[in-house]
Structure 1
Amino acid sequence: MPTAPPNPWPTGTAEQIEPLVRRVLAPNPSPFTYTGTQTYIVGAGEGCAVIDPGPANAAHLDAIIAAIGEEPVLAIMCTHTHKDHSPGSRPLAERTGAPIVGCAPLAFDADGPRADEGFDPDYAPDRVMEDGEAMTGPGWTLTAVATPGHVSNHLCFALEESDALFTGDHVMGWSTSVVVPPDGDMGDYMKSLDILHGREDRIYYPAHGPAVEKPRQLVRGMIGHRRQRENQILRLLADTRRSPVDLVPLMYKGLDPKLGKAAQLSVTAHLIDLERRGLVSREGDGWLAR
């Protein structure tokens, strides 16, 4: 996993990245958020949508409001409900009067330590968007693309006027997405990658990291990478029972210790998917290839 580029980062500054899109970076860098969560503002002055308002951080909220100026906010749209994406929707709705739309709410209590930012239990959308539904404004159309896998309620949003796709955490240019069971599902994640590979989007704008200018090429590589991980697991379990803790150091050479738990959870997600497909079985605390 690559390290973040050197500071300074454009935190709190509105960047015009194409005629209909502005980007504001939140001050929440971490090993899982890269330089921070990127909030996108879609619109050209007559009415906008805010995608992934980010954490409930006062400085970030002020930066979003400054970037919007006097433009009406027609919708606050969330790709999913991790705490680095959706909590800012509520204070932003209070200040703008805009409805919260997008992904479905998700109440999920995990046992034990987690390897992601955790879920937002207070997310309460005014409208849940289904796959293929659109939100429209002056000169723009955002269509929901259901992409479960990273989490079960994940959506991407397609900006029809410029063939751009806001990919949330599903596809990022700097890293593969962490899939954390039980809500994260590797089988669903792979199916969602196949859906994106079949599209003709010009560019991806992820919630973390740089824009992806060759999206189908990246997605094809991500699918291949995950299949390589599957094959690696099957080889390592061919004649020896191993647990995810055993597999991680064999699969991830030179891994940053801070990412060890995330790697274990990703391996577990692969094992659950392989078990469903009849390729591995659980034996006590370990797994073995069939």
Structure 2
Amino acid sequence: MPFLYEPEPPRGVAETIVPGIRRIVAGNATPTTYHGTNTYLIGEGDDVTVLDPGPDREDHVQHILDATGGRVRNILLSHAHRDHFGAAPALRAATGAPIHAFHESAEPDFTPDVPLRDGDPVLGMVAIHTPGHAPDHLCFAAGNGILFSADHVMSWSSTVVSPPKGNMTEYCNSLRLMLARPETLFLPGHGPKLPNPKPFVQDLLNNRQRRERAIAGILTDEPLSTGIIMNALYSKVDPVLRRAAERNVISHLIKLEAEGLAIREGELWRRAQPVAADAINQDNL
């Protein structure tokens, strides 16, 4: 899969990505967040929307305030994972800007000021519910060929789908939804912008389907642990990436269980019936 990479971006700087949209990359680099969370500043002057304020870091909030002069009119959330949502309360307190987010947040202690549903117009865009990575995940179609794809489609990596809130069936369905979209440029939650996104999205879906067939092919009548299944498919050595890979394996197994193709026995899994294997050993999560 042709992932896209970029040099480490300058910290604390709002770089123009396309006219009218700037990006500040938070200093929360990890093996699963790449260089850090992309915080987007949409608009100029007194009409700036901050999409995904990022992690709860005082320095990052200050960078947003410096870049906007504190003139933030709205805060928009793709989903309530801490690397995207953590700074939202502090930014709201500093600016008074209301928070727009999915009406049923995955964060139990958070209620958005402006609740959104699939298809709702929001700040000149359209909210698109894309569950899978998170149940409250939204993408935003900007109407000018641009779609903010957050963690649903990222250019530098495939997405971790970690149960119980991550759902592989919903994730694959949301990828199919993206294939039907007209946008020609995706701006993700981590990593560089993604031009011509449809072939990339199709590759993501194909990879998930190959991975699922491989997992089904590994299952036997003897119950196996998810660690054994993960080791048979992945050669990753970084412990963080290994945990992420195992979470994806579990999500696939839950999907197979729902389809009557796998049986769970405590923490172990076995096959429900013979399945043709396509055990392609790829390292994409």
Whole-Å separation in 2 of the counterparts to 1:254 and 1:152: 27
The equivalent residue for 1:214 is: 196
Change (3 A) 1:3 1:252: farther
Change (3 A) 1:240 1:43: same
Per-residue deviation, 1:128: 1.1
Per-residue deviation, 1:155: 0.5
Change (3 A) 1:267 1:41: same
* 8 Å Cα contact 2:236/2:242 also seen in 1: no
Per-residue deviation, 1:5: 5.5
Whole-Å separation in 2 of the counterparts to 1:47 and 1:257: 43
When normalised by structure 1's length, the TM-score is 0.87
Per-residue deviation, 1:122: 4.2
Change (3 A) 1:54 1:284: closer
Q: Deviations over 1:85-108 (max 9, x none)?
A: 11211111112111011224545x
2:262 pairs with 1:280: yes
Equivalent residue runs for 1:68-147 within 5 Å: 68-69=68-69, 72-104=71-103, 106=105, 122-136=109-123, 141-147=124-130
**What is the identity, as a one-letter code, of the residue corresponding to 2:91?**
L
Whole-Å separation in 2 of the counterparts to 1:87 and 1:121: 14
Per-residue deviation, 1:67: 1.4
Change (3 A) 1:46 1:5: closer
* 8 Å Cα contact 1:150/1:170 also seen in 2: yes
Of 152, 174, 183, which residue of structure 2 is paired with 1:192? 174
Query: What secondary structure is seen at the aligned counterpart in 2 of 1:101?
Result: strand
Whole-Å separation in 1 of the counterparts to 2:253 and 2:207: 15
Whole-Å separation in 2 of the counterparts to 1:269 and 1:254: 18
The equivalent residue for 1:40 is: 40
Per-residue deviation, 1:135: 1.7
The equivalent residue for 1:28 is: 28
**What is the identity, as a one-letter code, of the residue corresponding to 1:230?**
E
Whole-Å separation in 2 of the counterparts to 1:171 and 1:3: 12
2:137 pairs with 1:150: no
2:149 pairs with 1:167: yes
**What is the identity, as a one-letter code, of the residue corresponding to 1:58?**
E
Whole-Å separation in 1 of the counterparts to 2:130 and 2:240: 27
Q: Deviations over 1:179-198 (max 9, x none)?
A: 11111100010111010111
- Aligned CA RMSD, in angstroms, stands at 2.0
Whole-Å separation in 1 of the counterparts to 2:5 and 2:237: 15
Whole-Å separation in 1 of the counterparts to 2:220 and 2:69: 60
Whole-Å separation in 2 of the counterparts to 1:250 and 1:5: 31
Q: Deviations over 1:120-169 (max 9, x none)?
A: 55433101110111122xxxx12100000101111111111x22111111
Q: Deviations over 1:9-29 (max 9, x none)?
A: 322100011112011111111
Change (3 A) 1:76 1:197: same
Equivalent residue runs for 1:235-246 within 5 Å: 235-238=217-220, 240-246=222-228
* 8 Å Cα contact 1:81/1:105 also seen in 2: no
**What is the identity, as a one-letter code, of the residue corresponding to 2:129?**
A
Per-residue deviation, 1:242: 1.8
Whole-Å separation in 2 of the counterparts to 1:218 and 1:4: 14
The equivalent residue for 2:55 is: 55
Whole-Å separation in 2 of the counterparts to 1:272 and 1:284: 13
Query: What secondary structure is seen at the aligned counterpart in 2 of 1:84?
Result: helix
* 8 Å Cα contact 2:49/2:75 also seen in 1: yes
Per-residue deviation, 1:207: 1.0
Whole-Å separation in 2 of the counterparts to 1:285 and 1:181: 14
Per-residue deviation, 1:284: 4.8
Q: Gaps spanning 5+ residues in structure 2: where? A: 274-285
Q: Gaps spanning 5+ residues in structure 1: where? A: 108-119
Change (3 A) 1:6 1:219: closer
**Which stretch shows the higher mean deviation, 279-288 or 180-189?**
279-288
In the alignment of these two chains, the number of paired residues is 271
* Percent identical residues: 40
Q: Deviations over 1:46-100 (max 9, x none)?
A: 4121100011211111111121126x42310011111111121111111211101
